[in-house]
Structure 1
């Protein structure tokens, strides 16, 4: 087999395919992109075969090697052009997104006209073939959930996109759905989307599940997903999951996992700051963890956060326990801000009998 000829032919095919991707319409561009990737894969294999055929002691034909390098340099130039085109498209989409958000949120003279025009453009973008414009439209909708405008038909299109899209577009579609017309059935939509494309949603899934849940409760399939991610060896994955649990209502099992992460050096701060301190309903294990954290050497990031977290979500049966811990903290500290916070919470949870135990200056 003439490996030199086959690699040269493949390199030329790759170079020819790339400009087609840059210039043709969307369907042709997709086909050309696929052909480019296939040609690149075949080229790599053929070059490996050429090298194997030459052997360790052999020397490649200088002319053939020069021809191959020249062709690859040409292909690299086309790739750089595509990269610039992609960056330019992203920049234009970002500008468009900002303009749509500004127009939808506008007030004063001409605001109605601006909103109507922006909404029309967004609807067209959602139905169009340009993925950059679709994502820009989705992100604009996700930032205007509090604005009054005609939402007719938007939910239906967003549901279509959550079933079709992948990657960044899927993530944007789910956030848009949550802000346009949230329904109880959206929780299942989010769960199913995660099964289809977990990599695209991994960093935001706990927030999406929390947003779509009934009164912030993480349970059932949502809990299974989150518990799995909280067992990840990657601290960054755990951090993003914890961020999304801010203010959630969780089961004792999930609360126990959060408490475990407080003892994990890599997740210690994240589990305190985003996790146990923010829970809307705190059980005995969480409260014990927060009380212990009051003595954390890092008061600014951890101890103070625990004190803040003990200010809400405490069941009646544990209020005296919290008050007792805060009496001790108050009496062992000189910082007036800490003492003032303790005084208020002791009065809130313990009444006059516990307040009487506070040492005065």
Structure 2
């Protein structure tokens, strides 16, 4: 913690350890919306506007669909409303992250603290819990013969309007689909179009032919919700903040370091740990060429760009490696072999 706090309090250290993976953002002491708009580039105003439109539309649609589900007692509409609630949560979360990125430099956070892992875990568990409760209620109503859904044209119209608006939002997001946050929103709109379409078919069949179709529609949407959120919960649970990087990540980092060994005068080892699905990489080293090559840090950081599993890279002094469980490298900059590991272990036992 002291290591992270020292970096946070020392602006020179923060700027030195900042990576191109975390672009510098303007910091403001008073995070007002007007200040955010002033610091937002003209190119980003489109992203800002799209997020506001999608958020407001999603909130309105969830409220309308929730009322329709309550009045009609439709489990299909109710379950699709839960999926829409997930869209609202995700869109608001992305919007808040966008605002925070405009107010606070990522380099001002202690390493690994700007993690989305706990938020993802909470969201996925809440979504699956709500969907499960709704499914149990609908299943109980089916078994006990209490399916008393009363559909009408207004309720069907609500679902149709939801589909139309979601398609419209999808095309709006398509304008700025190169932005990662907007791309996520775009995919959410498509998912909601699918669940709303299933609810529409189920409601129409239940209204005109067989009322049990309402339960079938709710069950299909329930399966889709679990299918969408269960992988997020699983990945987040096993990759919570602080969990060390897996063997594949370590091999990737070792490969990059061995290929660029000439950039380091000394290389003691590295540490990888998760902040969600991505990893932070801490490299303990000395850079003898930094005086004659001022951009050597940027050169090293650039070697890690494009690696989806790596969130950020930090170059730290060798003196701090004693406080960590760093992965040691051999003379060639590679991970030690199993034989070398056994020899090191034997030497450790002999020295005791």
Higher-RCO chain (CA-CA 8 Å, sequence separation at least 6): 2
Identify whether the pair has TM-score above 0.5, normalized to the shorter chain: no
Which category of TM-score, normalised to the shorter sequence, fits these structures? under 0.3
Higher share of residues assigned strand: 2
Select the structure of larger CA radius of gyration.
1
TM, length-normalised to structure 2 = 0.28
TM, length-normalised to structure 1 = 0.27
Higher share of residues assigned helix: 1
